[in-house]
Amino acid sequence: MRQRPNNRLKGQSAIVTGSSSGIGKAIAIGLARDGANVVVNYHSDEEGANHTLAEIEKLNLHGSAIKFKADVSKEEAVEEMFAKAIDTFGTVDILVANAGLQKDAPLHEMELKDWQLVIDVNLTGQFLCARAAIREFLRRGMRKDVSCALGKIIHISSVHDIIPWAGHANYAASKGALTMLMQSIAQGYGKYKIRCNNVSPGAIRTPINEDAWKTKAAYNKLMKLIPSDRIGEVEDVAALCSWLASDEADYIQGTTLYVDGGMTCYPGFTENG
């Protein structure tokens, strides 16, 4: 456990989408560790959501957590998730829109349904959740006793918001577009004290990219892309998100924070070019 418990999010409530596994699960646990109430959103893996809740309960802290099944690409489901969060915890202070998926294929073979699914979840899902969060922040008004921000939105993006990715054009396009969504929100709602930022992971050890780290050969190949010479762990991303959601990061607005061991430094150019 790299993150030490503290109370910087005490009295606040968070929704973390796709937190039945991987990065989202670690973020939900990290926010709870810092005192927040958490809605653990899941799509189909209820067992995974239960495991996240059990880990949060083990922390034995002041906040509490509930699970909620919702497909983030569906407007009605997102509205219901926010209604449940508000009903249970009174409001929502923090949104970490983490849910995402890949449907890879060379572009000339990519089916429209796989293009559409990735855009629906990775981009439209982020829009639907951010819109619901902003509406709730504006409805509720300031709560200076818990935060100097009206609300915080963190989109989990990817280094592929800046690094092109052949064979994954739908994914790269969805993450690239997320930059403009995030910056437009920050530009428009900063004056209301709503903060919106992206966190862009590099290669993090989760089920989404198992092929890239499971065998020794794959891992060694991956290391050619990472100056820090190790794969990222979910806690690397979670620690950043907890800080970013807190008032310690109050002047971080409309930007992308890369947590990638230097992947965006294009290590392929170390001895060439």
Q: For tokens 């906040």, name the residue.
A: 63
Contact status: 104 vs ligand NAD (CB under 6 A):
no
Local structure of 155: helix, strand or coil: strand
E strand residue ranges, the chain: 13-16, 37-42, 65-69, 94-97, 151-156, 194-201, 256-259
Near ligand NAD by CB under 6 A: residue from 13, 14, 15, 17 = 17
- Check: CB of residue 25 under 8 Å from CB of residue 19: yes
75 binds ligand NAD (CB under 6 A): no
Considering the rule CB under 6 A, would residue 149 count as an interface residue with ligand NAD? Answer: no
CB-CB contact of 154 with 199 (8 Å): yes
Q: Which of 12, 170, 206, 256 binds ligand NAD (CB under 6 A)?
A: 206
Establish if 179 lies at the interface with ligand NAD (CB under 6 A): no
Residue 30 contacts ligand NAD per CB under 6 A: no
CB 24 within 8 A of CB 51: no
When binding is defined by CB under 6 A, the residue of 53, 156, 169, 172 that contacts ligand NAD is 156
The CB-of-228 to ligand NAD minimum distance in angstroms stands at 14
List the strands of the sheet with 94-97, edge to edge: 65-69, 37-42, 13-16, 94-97, 151-156, 194-201, 256-259
Rounded least distance, CB 208 to ligand NAD, Å: 3
Site for ligand NAD in 52-71 (CB under 6 A): 71
Residue 261 in contact with ligand NAD, rule: CB under 6 A:
no
CA distance 20 to 15: 12
> Please, are residues 52 and 234 in contact by the beta-carbon 8 Å criterion?
no
Catalytic site includes residue 251:
no
208 is written with which tokens? 């989404």
SS3 97: strand
Q: Which segment (55-63, 79-87, 97-105, 263-271) binds ligand NAD by CB under 6 A?
A: 97-105
Instruction: Name the minimum Å distance from CB 174 to ligand NAD.
Output: 8
Closer to ligand NAD at the Cβ: 35 or 48? 48
C-alpha to C-alpha distances, 41 to 30, 71, 112, 123, 240, nearest whole angstrom = 15, 9, 27, 17, 20
Q: At what angle do helices 75-89 and 125-140 cross, to 10 degrees?
A: 40
Q: How far is the CB of 6 from ligand NAD (least distance, A)?
A: 24
Q: Which stretch binds ligand NAD (CB under 6 A): 52-60, 93-101, 188-196, 218-226?
A: 93-101
- 126 within 8 A of 97, measured Cβ to Cβ: yes
Single residue of 37, 98, 197, 242 touching ligand NAD by CB under 6 A: 98
Residue for token digits 């951010």?
130
Can residue 20 be called a binding residue for ligand NAD (CB under 6 A)?
yes
**Does position 12 bind ligand NAD by CB under 6 A?**
no
Catalytic residue positions, numbered: 171
Provide the binding-site residues for ligand NAD, judged by CB under 6 A: 17-18, 20-24, 43, 45, 71-73, 98-101, 121, 156, 158, 201, 203-204, 206-209
